[in-house]
Chain A
């Protein structure tokens, strides 16, 4: 590995951190301009003025916004996300379990969907415009076109209620044996897989087909390589950048976009946690979750960028 690559990577990471900082300002400002007063929403309508004043002082709401912002940021830097207003629980400790659950589900959904999508994409290119291609594309598009809750309910109906193979609700808890946990997440992971599959598959197919127009593919074909070898050795490596991009985008969706799936399957992840606290106007939690989601997005995008740079030598030397 040469130093220009390291330098580029360092640049991307620094840029990512800067972006995260900007997002933190936006999140903080956004929650500040929300109508209503935090102290009022905690204490409710019957709050006495004195109680309001006490709570405002306790929460530091009398300080100017920028001081509160830096206090908040300082807390986050040291791993202190504050306490939830509604339940008084430490946010960091209640989030960590939830985040782990969400990542666990996302990991297994990705572990199934990414290889499957790329494999199917390659297959579709190999038999392009034939019935295999049409079947793959058709099924993938169909599964994407249905809303998540519909697929979820269908799977629940058949696999949980009718045949009773998998549980219809995915309550997981600490200390749950691994196999039980896998069984519990089978259905939500399947829904997520079906939802993200088509996007990645179609993108893989399109990116490779794009490359297939190139002259060097023709050369490879004329060398007498088999169709699969042409795709695998010559087309795929050159199409990897857009594929990584779309894979990362879908991974991000698997982590931050699974609210509906979590609600249907009663999965104790971040989405459900966020929904409960938004309903209660629990601003510190909403801020913390927002920041974590933003960090996930930025992190995965950096990975995509770096992946693309590594895959394509031309990107290492920007003009």
Chain B
């Protein structure tokens, strides 16, 4: 039976059989529509890319206030559109390894302080100019300038000097950093002519699509760039278009109605409904993003380790995953790293809900009375519900949690990173070093748990300069255990990225680093029929 279906699905892929007929026959063979669609999708993938057509995405995360300057990219639409028209030095592959793009070769000195990027020959900008080492240098300069408003400024901080050496760009760091190639994949760092110093919003780079339409908050579009350096390997559709659809219902109906071929941010609560829609496939992938309850390690009563442990044991992670994410995620273990990261250690013991242990540690902490938890709808989707679930699981351990619901407006400036116990989320970072450096080093601006541990700082900085992956992995394991057992973060779950696509789409590859195939969906997918 499955052979027959496979045979038929290949017929659909080459256009000998209509999709409707195929689904009809599949139903006659007793196969569910969802499974039949999956078959179709894989047949389309096996068939190889199809050229032409207009590929359309409906996306949440675009505003009238956006512009094309990569330094200002903040939300999903500029991010995804940037990956269509922009070209980067390096890119992150779905398996977590680095792909050389404009940089043909990357070499580090033995101490990981001096990095050499060899610039590829024959890469052409949309304006006809050839990409030179000077353009790359100017790009890095623009984003690392102290006065720059670039979102990449934080990751460019460790650069001591940069220079062009023939075809090479040489970057010298103040401290060793084995992760520099990962940092260079940051989505802000689109290589532009003269680094975009002349006209950052011109939308000119060397990506597979040329910008043809840019109406911020409405739509963005591009047409295939004939002289793209990778030729036909990327950029299968003649044109691409992103339509900004911030309303979740409108987004789903646009996909159902066939106005767009793919959408991002399907809400967990409607995933099961969307799954039943014929012709639509849910594309979920587990990513590095996570939801957190954060306690300040230096503020009473949370400065007591037993109290923090009590709060951790009182978290029912499975229930959170089940009820808040409807299963579209994975349980967390009180440190911010999961399998989405290279060098993740999967052998750290999973902490489970244990009201008895929670009660034991709570008693030992000597604290009595209620714990005040601040939350808001904007902290993460379902944050207020999650706080209430937590309140109940704490109550079973004899811990009283009081919930204060804060207004969404001003939550990030007044509550998060200010109040001692609150809910929040993290989108994750490309590497462990980045994640820990952003939120767990003593010196980090966003050390939202006030985790002030010199030994931890030392460990992270040492790991940063370690080029031996085995040693490095062991160091990150130690760091994770330290955060898990002593830190102020209670991390119940990692959330999946949930996109959905029409089964007309071929070439979809799950990418754990971001939604819509880490932004590359429009550049890499094709219209199958």
Contact = CB atoms under 8 A, between A and B. Distances in A.
A280 B250 contact: no
Interface stretch (A12-20, A162-170, A309-317): A162-170
Interface residues of A, number: 32
Interface in A128-179: 153, 156-157, 160-161, 164, 167-169, 171, 173
A263 B245 CA distance: 8
Contacts of B257: 156, 160-161, 164, 167-168
A84 interface: yes
A161 B245 contact: no
A92 interface: no
Interface in B10-59: 58
A276 B64 contact: yes
Given A167-B257, A173-B215, A276-B217, A264 B247 contact: yes
Given A46-B445, A164-B257, A266-B245, 7 more contacts: A87-B216, A89-B216, A94-B64, A168-B250, A266-B246, A273-B64, A276-B65
26 contacts: A46-B445, A84-B65, A87-B66, A88-B67, A89-B216, A153-B249, A156-B249, A156-B253, A157-B253, A160-B257, A160-B259, A167-B259, A168-B257, A169-B243, A169-B253, A169-B254, A169-B260, A173-B213, A173-B215, A263-B246, A263-B247, A264-B249, A265-B250, A276-B64, A279-B63, A282-B65
A2 B87 CA distance: 70
Contacts of A277: 64-65
Interface of B: 58, 63-67, 147, 213, 215-219, 243-247, 249-250, 253-254, 256-260, 413, 445
A268 to B, nearest CB: 4
A153 B254 CA distance: 12
A46 B445 CA distance: 10
A217 B106 CA distance: 93
Given A264-B249, A265-B250, A168 B215 contact: no
A265 B65 CA distance: 19
B432 to A, nearest CB: 24
Q: Mostly helix, strand, loop or mixed at chain B's interface?
A: loop
B147 A51 contact: yes
Contact of A86 (B65, B213, B254): B65
Contacts, number: 86
B254 A168 contact: yes
A164 B255 CA distance: 12
Contact of B218 (A51, A84, A164, A173): A173
> Which of B215, B249, B250: most chain A Cβ within 10 A?
B250
A287 interface: no
Contacts of B259: 160, 167-169
Interface string A71-87: 00000000000001011
Contact of B250 (A87, A169, A268, A276): A169
A246 B147 CA distance: 55
Instruction: Please give me the 4 A-B residue pairs with the lowest Cβ-Cβ distance, nearest first.
Output: A86-B65, A276-B64, A268-B218, A160-B257
A89 B67 contact: yes
A45 interface: yes
Interface of A: 45-46, 51, 84, 86-89, 94, 153, 156-157, 160-161, 164, 167-169, 171, 173, 263-266, 268, 272-273, 276-277, 279-280, 282
Contacts of B218: 171, 173, 266, 268
A164 B258 CA distance: 8
A87 B216 CA distance: 9
Contacts of B147: 51
Contacts of A169: 58, 243, 245, 250, 253-254, 259-260
Contacts of B254: 160, 168-169, 266
A168 B64 contact: no
A135 B218 CA distance: 40
A263 B62 CA distance: 12
Given A264-B250, A268-B217, A273-B217, A161 B256 contact: yes
Nearest to B219: A171
B443 to A, nearest CB: 15
A160 B256 CA distance: 8
Contacts of B253: 153, 156-157, 160-161, 168-169
B255 to A, nearest CB: 9
Nearest to A89: B67
Nearest to A50: B147
Nearest to B412: A45
A266 B243 contact: yes
B179 to A, nearest CB: 23
A86 B63 CA distance: 10
A242 B244 CA distance: 41
A156 B247 CA distance: 13
Contacts of A280: 63, 65
A277 B65 CA distance: 7
A266 B250 contact: yes
A88 B64 CA distance: 11
A157 B253 CA distance: 7
Contacts of A46: 445
B59 to A, nearest CB: 11
B317 to A, nearest CB: 32
Given A171-B218, A266-B244, A156 B65 contact: no
Nearest to A167: B259
A317 B259 CA distance: 58
A241 to B, nearest CB: 40
A272 B64 contact: yes
A210 to B, nearest CB: 42
A161 B253 CA distance: 6
> Which of A46, A94, A171: most chain B Cβ within 10 A?
A171
Contacts of B65: 84, 86-87, 276-277, 280, 282
B47 to A, nearest CB: 27
